[in-house]
Amino acid sequence: MKTAIIFFFFASSACAAQLTGNEQIPIISQDQEVNFDGSYRSSYETGNGIAAQEQGVLKNAGNPDAEAEEVQGSFQYTAPDGSPISLQYIANENGFQPQGAHLPIAPTPPPIPAAIQRALEWNAAHPEPEEAVRRF
C-alpha cells in the first residue's frame, strides 16, 4: 500500500513538473469513495490530460495469516518530450507490479546448458532416500 501511494505521489509530482509559472490547470473530474470495510476507489482527470484511478481492498480480512491489502490502478500523462505515458499497476502480497509500454523489459535469460538440464532431470527421477533419523 505504501509503495502504491509513494509511486502515485511520484507520478503526480512528475506531472506537476511539466507546469510552468503560475499556470492554472482545471480539475475536470474527481471521485472518491471510502467504505467501512476498508475498500476504496479514487480517480481524477485534469485539463492538461493527466488522469489517474486507483482502487484497493483488504483480502482475507480477519485472517491474520492470509490478510493482505491489494491495490490496483493506472495513470496517464504526457511526458516533457511529448510521448504519452500510461502505466497500470497492482500492489499486493506479491509486491508492486507495474506495466507500461515505456518501461524497460528484462532480457530473456540464457537457456540451461544441455548437460545441466540432463543432470536436473536425472536428479528429479532418482530422489535420494530419506535418511533414518538417529535417536540417542
Would you state the pLDDT for residue 50?
A: 95
Q: Is the pLDDT of residue 116 over 80?
A: yes
Would you state the pLDDT for residue 14?
A: 55
What does the angle CA 63 – CA 56 – CA 47 come to, to the nearest 5 degrees? 175
Q: Averaged over 37-63, what is the pLDDT?
A: 92
Would you state the pLDDT for residue 23?
A: 84
Grid coordinates 493527466 are at which residue?
50
Please tell me the distance from the alpha carbon of residue 42 to that of residue 75, in angstroms, as a whole number.
Answer: 12
Would you state the pLDDT for residue 86?
A: 95
Percent of the chain scoring above 90 in pLDDT: 55
Counting other chains too, the contacts that 38-47 makes at CB distance below 8 Å and 24 or more residues apart are: 38/69, 46/15
Would you state the pLDDT for residue 62?
A: 82
Q: Averaged over 24-52, what is the pLDDT?
A: 94
List the domain boundaries for the chain: 27-100
Q: Averaged over 51-56, what is the pLDDT?
A: 96
**pLDDT band for position 2 (cuts 50, 70, 90):** low
Would you state the pLDDT for residue 88?
A: 96
